[in-house]
Structure 1
Amino acid sequence: MSLPVVLANTTHLPPEQMFSLQVGTKLFQVSGYSLNSDSPSLFTEFFVENKNATLFIDRSPQVFKLIMDHLQGYSVNIKDESQFTFCFLDAVYFKLPRLQDLLKNCEYYYICVGGQHFKLAKALLSQPGNSLNYFGLTCRSLFDDVQAVYLTMNLARPPPQSPPYVNRSPAFLADLITLLQGGMLDLTPERRQSLMQECRYYRFLRLEQQLVPAQISWNPLLQTEEIIINLKDVRCKFVSVPKSDQSPSQEPAAKRRRLLPDCHWYAVQYKRPYLDSDLPQARELIFQISACEVTLFFIKNAKTIHVAISGHTLVRFRSVFQKVLAENNIDLNAYERQNSLLVLPACVSLSSMHVNGMPCRNISSVVDEMQFKEQVIDFNNPNHINQLVPGLKLDLTKSLWKLGVQDNKLLMIAVKAEAVSGLKEYYRALDYI
């Protein structure tokens, strides 16, 4: 004989009847209406068969008070990460599907960072780059692990689960929350760097880019936007080289050629991740090099200028530009010398330069007028690597550059620089500690 179809509401209890639940040391009286509000559950399954019995539950009455609020139609007022974790564990134990869903889609992250409790609104982290973050992944792991272990291993109760704790600085997280809320902070360079490291830890990638020091301006002479950013903060994935048919500006060609009289160079461009994704066109990149690992070489007879990059700056330069240049048929290895130097032709005619602390209005005329006693490497003759010729060497302590590209060639275009001409001048610029 076929059985009748059993409807889901057959597990519902009489709404007006009161049912007794002994949770730990406390007795709760709950109506069938409240128990039916989140069913089927452990409660409805028990009382359908045992309407007048008392259900004994060896769990925390303090946590069950939160569950009672939920069953009676109130919002669950969770104070911290401990209450949140224990409430979810009991929601799984009591088989309350609606409460589990509410906690999974809660509007807040409840976390403890360095001993301080935070109630962080998820809406603050909804933007691309911030949304797939440390807290979201941690909470998802909590939900998935508890449910998977409890259901697949057929345990008597959910496995113990520690509330989420992060051994980081609570003051730094408070600063990040202030920034996410649209607030402003007066940050020292050291504090800014620390906050950027915290952003990387929590995977607040968009906020990290907001903290990266950058200056955006409109160049009225080139009719284009430019962005100044430290080389160490440039992300290689977002660097681009304009195509030959893509003009870097809308300025007439004759005026643009006066920038570099002999040929037309296209500046490498950059879009900051997440912040500039909607820009129709990338900005021209001006990158700052702050380390003393860049040297200008002026060759007197050949009237040429080269810039040599070494050390950590060379490693960073490669990591930023090598891939995008290779995609445009430019081999950066062709510019490397055996003594671990990357040597590129340079243009300084447009730059504002200070040498030994003094402004140098026309570096080319200075080079022509100087009595050359110094011998520098002749980078114009690749067949004689160590050949020395009369010239001038300037070590740059800080500089701004554009990287020009034209017909599979590279040119370092100096925008601004501070230089010293020798060891004595370098020591003179040092500050006392």
Structure 2
Amino acid sequence: MSLKLTSTGRLPPEQMFTLQVGSKLFQVSGYSLNSDSPNLFTHFFSANESSTLFIDRSPQVFKLIVHHLQGYTVEIQDGAQFTTCFLDAIYFQLPRLQDLLKHSEYYFVCVGGTHFKLPKTLVSQVGNSLNYFEMACKSLFDDVQAIYHTMNLVRPPPQSPPYVNRSPNYFANLVTLLQGGILELTPERRQSLIQECRYYRFLRLEQQLVACQLRWNPVLQTQEIVMAMNDIRPKFVSLSQSPSPVEPVPKKPRLSSDSCWTSVQYRRPFVDADAPFARELIFQVMNSEATLYFIKNSKTIHVALSGPSLNMFRSIFNKLLSQNGIDLNNYLKQGSLLVLPACLSLCSLQVNSVPCRNVGALVEDFQLVDQVLDFNNPNHINQLVPGLKLNLMKSLWKLGMRDEKLLMIAIKAEAISGLKEYNKTLEYV
């Protein structure tokens, strides 16, 4: 007896249909088979008198398919189950199930052998999206469907579930942070998690992990941000709209500045996107890559940057300085030093582990008897003049600009005066 379709071309909803999937027999109503049609089932039963459809597929996966056809939510446990279910949704020509899986609320991934069910809402913020999993899943869907349809295959090609050869412990930490949890992180683990964020393209979370201090300066009445120089992104540095004083009431003009300088500001990408203003930037120079030079005759101070710190400084600030008429090439000396005018008027300074009361006292204590390069004389750069050289072990700075000139404003620094003091900083292994 031939099967009679309804007037709408659908199977009779009250009739039960038999399907043999692998070694298991299923009885499914026409109502269920019609729920995601047209599909392989409706095509077969509308064209064949046979009451049984034989299918050489997994009965375990087909149980999920039946749950979907009966109107239940398909509960996926892991990436392997998700992938096989999607492949069978293609094979059985179930358009609604394919769409539901594509737009699932979760990413099902295996990271380093551990399965994760990652809610998409956790990584949907600007900066965390478009991420690794969005791109990987889109590629999975598009590639499998394209191959199956264009090559006219008998069944979908085999497909491995998404696998990421990364640390599952680090990924679990990232999930905890995305969920709003707080972790006690060592500097090494923080840096490792930042690397993981970059791999997965969780760029917003990366910025949340970057070590920084957000402070309100009650004296200057301004917001400040303290960051390591290697964590600063050049695109997000800017210039303050109003100048700020380097020293409100200078007591001595010597080795200080009483001018107002416009400070460089910073707005962290993604994290500070909605903030009404940028913060004044205080940046930390890498250890032992900055040197202070006090020149006696001109009563001036310079800071010389070298190595990676020189390259970082140029990459971060060069575009902003150029836009304000400042060419950093004019501050290059001897090819390997970037020598910038500096102000230490308000710097909390330690020299040889001893707090320095003020710059004037430092000059008097050391008497400026060393011979240092005369950076004030461009015609005789190799000429030595009386002065003082201090190697900075740690230092925090602001960068100021005024009238196409720039000034390094020291905030806090620890310095040593020679090799003997440096040797004191060494630890036994």
Q: TM-score, normalised by structure 2?
A: 0.94
- Listed one character per residue, the Cα deviations across residues 178-206 of structure 1 (whole Å, up to 9, x for unaligned) are 11111111111111111111011111111
Q: Which of 133, 136, 144 is residue 135 of structure 1 equivalent to?
A: 133
Residue 296 of structure 1 contacts residue 308 of structure 1 at CA under 8 Å; is this kept in 2? yes
**Per-residue deviation at 1:305?**
0.4
Residue 247 of structure 2 contacts residue 258 of structure 2 at CA under 8 Å; is this kept in 1? no
The equivalent residue for 2:305 is 309
The equivalent residue for 2:283 is 287
The equivalent residue for 1:388 is 384
The equivalent residue for 1:424 is 420
1-side partners of 2:192 and 2:419: how far apart? 33
Q: Which of 309, 316, 320 is residue 324 of structure 1 equivalent to?
A: 320
The equivalent residue for 1:3 is none
2-side partners of 1:215 and 1:370: how far apart? 34
1-side partners of 2:218 and 2:399: how far apart? 20
Instruction: Count the aligned residue pairs.
Output: 421
**Per-residue deviation at 1:175?**
0.6
1-side partners of 2:64 and 2:203: how far apart? 35
2-side partners of 1:9 and 1:350: how far apart? 88
The equivalent residue for 2:242 is 247
The equivalent residue for 1:366 is 362
SS in structure 1 at match of 2:46: helix
The equivalent residue for 1:165 is 163
Q: Which of 71, 95, 98 is residue 96 of structure 2 equivalent to?
A: 98
The equivalent residue for 2:375 is 379
1-side partners of 2:175 and 2:12: how far apart? 48
Letter in 1 for 2:172: A
The equivalent residue for 2:404 is 408
Q: Call closer, same or farther: CA 1:419–1:431 in 2, change over 3 Å.
A: same
**Per-residue deviation at 1:220?**
1.4
Taking only aligned residues, the RMSD between alpha carbons, in angstroms, comes to 1.9
SS in structure 2 at match of 1:11: coil
Residue 198 of structure 2 contacts residue 206 of structure 2 at CA under 8 Å; is this kept in 1? yes
1-side partners of 2:127 and 2:230: how far apart? 20
The equivalent residue for 2:64 is 66
2-side partners of 1:255 and 1:396: how far apart? 22
Q: Call closer, same or farther: CA 1:363–1:261 in 2, change over 3 Å.
A: closer
Q: Which of 194, 199, 202 is residue 200 of structure 2 equivalent to?
A: 202
- Listed one character per residue, the Cα deviations across residues 101-121 of structure 1 (whole Å, up to 9, x for unaligned) are 110111111010111111111
Letter in 1 for 2:106: Y
1-side partners of 2:419 and 2:62: how far apart? 74
- Listed one character per residue, the Cα deviations across residues 353-397 of structure 1 (whole Å, up to 9, x for unaligned) are 011111011123321443333110000001112110011000001
Mapping for residues 118-129 of structure 1, pairs under 5 Å:
118-129=116-127
SS in structure 2 at match of 1:286: strand
1-side partners of 2:424 and 2:246: how far apart? 44
SS in structure 1 at match of 2:380: coil
**Per-residue deviation at 1:50?**
1.8
Residue 300 of structure 1 contacts residue 368 of structure 1 at CA under 8 Å; is this kept in 2? no
**Per-residue deviation at 1:257?**
7.2
Letter in 1 for 2:219: L
Residue 310 of structure 1 contacts residue 342 of structure 1 at CA under 8 Å; is this kept in 2? yes
SS in structure 2 at match of 1:48: helix
**Per-residue deviation at 1:255?**
8.4
**Higher deviation after alignment, 224-233 or 155-164:** 155-164
- Listed one character per residue, the Cα deviations across residues 49-81 of structure 1 (whole Å, up to 9, x for unaligned) are 125432221111111111111011111111100
SS in structure 1 at match of 2:93: coil
1-side partners of 2:344 and 2:267: how far apart? 25
Letter in 1 for 2:242: S
**Per-residue deviation at 1:10?**
3.4
Q: Which of 334, 338, 346 is residue 338 of structure 1 equivalent to?
A: 334
Mapping for residues 213-228 of structure 1, pairs under 5 Å:
213-228=211-226
Residue 246 of structure 2 contacts residue 260 of structure 2 at CA under 8 Å; is this kept in 1? no
2-side partners of 1:177 and 1:256: how far apart? 47
The equivalent residue for 1:36 is 34
Residue 291 of structure 1 contacts residue 313 of structure 1 at CA under 8 Å; is this kept in 2? no
User: In the alignment, is residue 190 of structure 1 matched against residue 188 of structure 2?
Assistant: yes
SS in structure 2 at match of 1:268: strand
**Higher deviation after alignment, 392-401 or 369-378:** 369-378
1-side partners of 2:280 and 2:67: how far apart? 58
2-side partners of 1:141 and 1:396: how far apart? 51
SS in structure 2 at match of 1:404: strand
SS in structure 2 at match of 1:383: helix
Identical columns (%)? 69
2-side partners of 1:178 and 1:336: how far apart? 46
Q: Which of 84, 109, 113 is residue 86 of structure 1 equivalent to?
A: 84
Q: Where do 4+ consecutive residues of structure 1 move more than 4 Å?
A: 253-261
User: In the alignment, is residue 238 of structure 1 matched against residue 236 of structure 2?
Assistant: yes
**Higher deviation after alignment, 195-204 or 144-153:** 144-153
Q: Which of 326, 339, 344 is residue 348 of structure 1 equivalent to?
A: 344
**Per-residue deviation at 1:21?**
1.3
2-side partners of 1:332 and 1:49: how far apart? 79
SS in structure 2 at match of 1:151: helix
**Per-residue deviation at 1:9?**
7.4
- Listed one character per residue, the Cα deviations across residues 151-201 of structure 1 (whole Å, up to 9, x for unaligned) are 122111111111111110000001111111111111111111111110111
**Per-residue deviation at 1:140?**
0.8
Q: TM-score, normalised by structure 1?
A: 0.94
Residue 210 of structure 1 contacts residue 275 of structure 1 at CA under 8 Å; is this kept in 2? yes
2-side partners of 1:335 and 1:255: how far apart? 24
Q: Call closer, same or farther: CA 1:72–1:51 in 2, change over 3 Å.
A: farther
1-side partners of 2:428 and 2:6: how far apart? 80
Residue 257 of structure 2 contacts residue 345 of structure 2 at CA under 8 Å; is this kept in 1? no
